[in-house]
Chain A
Amino acid sequence: METRQLLRSMVRIRCIEEEIADVYRDEQQMRTPVHLSIGQEAVAVGVCAALRTEDVVYSGHRCHAHYLAKGGGLGAMVAELYGRETGCAAGRGGSVHLVDEAAGFGASSAILGEMISVATGAAWAFARQEAPRVAVTFFGDGASEEGVFHESLNFAALHRLPVVYVCENNQYSLSSPLAARQPPGTSISGRARGYGIPAARVDGNDVAAVHAAAVTAVEHCRSGTGPYFLELDTYRWREHVGPGWDHECGARRPDEVLSWTKRCPIRRAADALRGADPDVDEWITAWEREFRAETHAAIAAAEAAPFPRVEDLLVGTYGDRGTHAG
């Protein structure tokens, strides 16, 4: 895909998340904790641009960008944040439990590493069905410490399953830096290689590089040769949960944050295009207007949408074909 398209997609996600952050903080009406991906957009966009609609993406708590990049409906996501019946999970799941099966976004969840195994299971089904589909799971450096990461990679390698493991290494788990959690001289992609899974480690703020690596990974999986692992180095600009900035409350050094905002994936993609397309900044300005308007419309629609009916509180706990009598 052209870098221009990738850039446009990143600008869209940035605009949506920035609007959400402001409205979330100022209006206090989205009553579900949000984990924002601002600064990490190249990972979601570069990987998802390498996928087909029928490929299925799974994610963790920081899932908005993955959902949007895979084509998840904006209106349904915003309505979910507002707890409305029109939300993608009918207001039941909230920010961390997004879903859009039609778009190939399988699910996101809030307990670390859960979706690593679920994506592996989807890939197992694809392999058994001999379907040319690929499962992708995004997770953080933190989730790679969970046991389920290792158990899943072992099984996928053993059965040569078509799953791309995308470790979005933003270097922090809550406020805990990677160096406090993993031994020096090791890497997460190195652990994947230990299971015999081919792995690439790429600058996760370079959307063109991410995309190129993802194309290789997806082709590898689709050809039936087994799983592939991508470790994408990036950085979370905001706090673990909520709209604030960690350095404003002393959780991180301002100069560290500044060194990463200078490596903004959007600015870098724009700089890469500027030689050939001197008008790139004007496009971005026009896109921002378009996407902010799109987000405002989604917010207005969500605010106008009904809440779930309280008498429906229990609906959905079991299905219509439950095992209970009557």
Chain B
Amino acid sequence: MRSLTYSQAISEATVQCMEADPAIVLAGQSVDDYKGVYGTTGEAFARFGSARVIDIPNGENAFAGIAIGAATIGLRPLLVHTRDDFMFLAMDALINLAAKWRYMYGGKRGVPVVSRGVVGRGWGQGATHSQSLQSLFGHFPGLHVATPASPADAKGLLVTALQGDTPVVLLENRGLYDLRGEVPSEPVAVPFGKGRVVRAGDDVTIVAASLMVHEAERAAGVLAARGISAEVVDVRSIRPLDDALICASVAKTGHLVVADTSWARYGFTAEVAAVVAENVPGALKAPVRRVTPPDCPAPVSWPLENAFNPGAETVVRACLEVLGVAGGAVPRIRNVMAGFAGPY
């Protein structure tokens, strides 16, 4: 199988789906420019032009509603937000209309609006340009929300979204765009609600989403060197959530660490802990530990930013803690984002 970057995989899914379905239109601010939203929209613009790849004015609130209206008449809008923080402006339409449309209008039709949002992790992107919104969007019945961690899933989940009849939010951490991995050439749909075991293990389960899947894998490598076998579960989609996979893994290992870049309170990590507590309470041999950002907005100053962002080291420490293993020195682990140079 070929290797593609995460951004190439998104681009390929977009182009293949647009070829297959003339109803798909791609819209967002500067989707047609030379950067092409981190290399994800340029190929589609080159192929389909401005009739189907549309640079839109700044107006997230209106355009979310415009996309919904277009979807009711048969279009399949794919919206791109270069920072998901701007999606707060789109939330009225996405939450009060798109998520509820099928249900509150009597179940006749859904509105298949697909929104991609970039989590702007990078240098000092700060309080309003780097938030992970999976917990927020995951709350609402009627939406589907995915956080692809691998290039193959970035393609496959987008294909599923563009073929379905449910409004979808796809959240892409900017730190993943250059990541390479094997990707099928064909537009193979990856279903929502099916997680994957990234690495099998027996002693502790690490459930993670998006960028934290990679931090969890690094952590598992460090733990293996200490004779600890960690199982890493990538949930792939936040809603629906693969309860069965999570519970089966915890039933096997008896220990759970949940890692995410959104906050702990009322968040994705809380939901995973609740699913385990409700379904396999007897399996847990120790309390659950959550690895998340601390309870403050994202700071800019880099020492604070380093302390704010959870990484492999914090995952290792949490695993040692739930296993009751003396901490000792945890080797410094290179962050997934290390080597990031320049935000421009």
Contact = CB atoms under 8 A, between A and B. Distances in A.
Interface of A: 25, 28, 31-33, 80, 83-85, 87, 89, 91-97, 109-113, 142-143, 145-147, 173-176, 180-182, 239, 241-244, 249-251, 307-308, 310, 313-314, 316-317
A109 B125 CA distance: 12
B33 A308 contact: no
A244 B344 CA distance: 9
A142 B294 CA distance: 34
Contacts of A31: 123-124, 300, 302, 305, 343
Contacts of A91: 299-301, 304
B19 to A, nearest CB: 25
Given A109-B128, A111-B88, A176-B30, 13 more contacts: A31-B305, A31-B343, A83-B301, A91-B301, A93-B127, A93-B300, A96-B126, A142-B58, A146-B60, A147-B62, A173-B29, A173-B30, A307-B301
24 contacts: A28-B341, A31-B123, A32-B343, A33-B122, A33-B123, A33-B125, A91-B304, A92-B126, A93-B126, A96-B128, A111-B88, A111-B89, A145-B57, A146-B58, A146-B61, A174-B33, A175-B35, A176-B33, A176-B55, A244-B344, A250-B34, A308-B303, A310-B307, A317-B297
Contacts of B129: 33, 96, 110
Interface string B305-324: 10110000000000000000
A83 B128 contact: no
B296 interface: yes
Interface in B266-316: 294-297, 299-305, 307-308
B85 interface: yes
B86 interface: yes
Contacts of A174: 29-30, 33, 82
Given A145-B57, A308-B301, A316 B296 contact: yes
Interface residues of B, number: 44
A116 to B, nearest CB: 12
B59 interface: yes
Contact of B126 (A32, A142, A182, A307): A32
A182 B300 contact: no
Contacts of A314: 294-296
Contacts of A173: 29-30, 57-58
Given A31-B302, A241-B343, A181 B126 contact: no
Given A142-B58, A147-B62, A92 B342 contact: no
B135 to A, nearest CB: 17
Contacts of A307: 301-304
Contacts of B343: 31-33, 241-242
Most buried by A among B33, B300, B341: B300
A310 B33 contact: no
A32 B123 contact: yes
